[in-house]
Amino acid sequence: MAGNGALSAWAKGIRIVLCHLLDWIFACFAPIFRRCVADTFAARFIAAPSFFCRATVRTFHAIALTDLLAEIRACRACEHALPLGPRPVLQASGTARLLIVGQAPGAKVHASGVPWDDASGERLREWLGIDTTTFYDARRVAIVPMGFCYPGRGGGGDNPPRAECAPLWHTRLLDQLTNVRLTLLVGQYAQRYFLGARRKPSLTETVQAWREYAPDYVPLPHPSPRNQPWFKRHAWFEAEVLPALRRHVTELFADTENAAPIDMTWDNAQENAQMTKPPITIQRVYEPLPEAGAACFLVDRLWPRGIRKETLAHVTWAKDVAPSTALRQWFHAHEHDPAHWDEFRERYLAELAANRVAWEPIVRARETRPVVLLYGSHDTARNHAVVLQAFLKRERQ
Ligand code: SF4
């Protein structure tokens, strides 16, 4: 038996070496062949072995990955520290283009063995704009947390991922995921591990600087319901980061047969153009008004309660840019139902698209100085100013 084990370890070692060797040969010589003999008879002659070479590489990769996943599933490295015992929960395939690196499974995920099978997962899928079928298709999405097993609970919630897990497995596993083109770093542990010194002092600043890490990485906060106050405080995340992320992911899966790198400058060009313009920000009208120099617009249809006209003497009241009375009343009638936010946003964007004359003065003001949009709503995350700000940022003149 011991002899068989040694033989199988040798066979596995040889397979992995061969796999890397073929990969290297193909990577080095295929572009040279293509350049030298393009559109000639020889190109067709070479195509057959080239296809064979690629198919062989893929087969070796698949075998190596299957072996590695089996090894991970049998891992007992930190068994002593796991209250419910080891149960690595992950999903991976060599063809996956999207890699999600989260923290560690919670108790519910440990019980089901299905990654992100909880309220956080639902929100994450909503952020990405993909359904469960796509999310759990390992050929497209790899899910590799920082710790593969449930680490138990401490005083303030679930414990951090086990520190020994990522150094033990990540390099070997990620080496096999050769088609990944976008990695989502969900939470501070993944950001610390993958971004190192490029990470900002806080998670909020790191997420806010997401463009610096694209196209390879997008840092995200954890989608846990416990982070609801964070989402409310940082409305820019929903208004700016999520629409861009959804576009990325849609493009990523749009041409699954085409292996050419996606043009990830999609947003950078647009965003760079925006960055050269003065900023456009929003704030409650009840907060101290900005210093002189900014163009301030009150964007509510109704005058804010308790505010004297003199207080806003230098503010332009752009009431026609606000949602129509019918839409405002509909929104307030349903404001406690989060499902209506998306519908409100869609309807308000349609109104804005048809009402250029209302927002054009704001765009013109922004050509020369920063713009501040003032609103009265108590809800700083879900209000029409958030939608208007995103709309105006995207508007190209
Ligand atoms: S958490 Fe990671 S290192 Fe620990 S037992 Fe699970 S797979 Fe092994």
Asked if 52 and 169 sit in the same domain, the reply is: no
Any domain includes 2: no
Alpha helices by DSSP H, listed for the chain, are 2-37, 41-73, 107-112, 119-128, 132-135, 165-176, 188-195, 203-208, 228-233, 235-236, 242-254, 266-275, 325-333, 339-353, 356-366, 384-394
Pairwise pLDDT comparison (348 vs 155), residue with the higher score = 348
Residue 104 Cα: closest atom of ligand 1: 1
Domain closes at, from 186, 221, 255: 255
What would the DSSP string read from start to end of 104-156?
---HHHHHH--TT-SHHHHHHHHHHT--HHHHT-TTTEEE--SSSS---EETT
Final residue of a domain: which of 21, 44, 73?
73
- Average pLDDT estimate for 165-179: 94
The CA distance from 375 to 328, in Å, is 13
Whether 96 and 239 map to the same domain: the answer is yes
Does residue 367 lie in a domain region? Answer: yes
144 and 203 in a common domain = yes
Q: Could you tell me the distance, in angstroms and rounded to a whole number, from the CA of residue 5 to the centre of ligand 1?
A: 23
Ligand 1, residues 68, 110, 164: which to mutate, most atoms within 8 A of Cβ?
164
Joined tokens for residue 391: 């709309």
Residue 249 has what pLDDT?
Answer: 92
Q: Are residue 282 and residue 240 in the same domain, yes or no?
A: no
300, 61, 29: which is closest to 179 by C-alpha?
61
Among candidate residues 222, 255, 288, the one where a domain is terminated: 255
In a domain, 264, yes or no: no
- The distance of Cα 292 from the centroid of its chain, to the nearest Å, equals 37
What's the pLDDT band for 359 if we cut at 50, 70, 90? very high
Residue 269 within a domain: no
Instruction: Give me the CATH number covering residue 87.
Output: 3.40.470.10
Indicate which atom in ligand 1 lies nearest the CA of residue 76.
Answer: 5
Residue 334 burial by CB count (10 A; 0-12/13-18/19+): exposed, middle or buried? middle
Q: How far is the C-alpha of 12 from the C-alpha of 367, rounded, in Å?
A: 63
Q: Which of 165, 169, 171, 193 to mutate to test the pocket of ligand 1 (most atoms within 8 A of CB)?
A: 165
The mean per-residue pLDDT over the stretch 69-80 comes to 94
Contact status, residue 300 vs residue 319, Cβ threshold 8 Å? yes
Q: How confident is the model at residue 267 (pLDDT cuts 50, 70, 90)?
A: very low
pLDDT at 294: 86
* Domain extent at residue 143: 81-151+160-255
Contacts 24+ apart (CB under 8 A), 316-320: 316/361, 318/358, 318/359, 318/361, 318/362, 320/355, 320/357, 320/358
Q: How many domains does the chain have?
A: 3
- To test ligand 1's pocket by mutation, which of 149, 171, 173, 189 has the most ligand atoms within 8 angstroms of CB? 149
Does ligand 1 come within 6 angstroms of the Cβ of 104?
A: no
Range with the poorest average pLDDT among 32-36, 314-318, 387-391: 32-36
Does ligand 1 lie within 6 Å of residue 165's CB atom?
yes
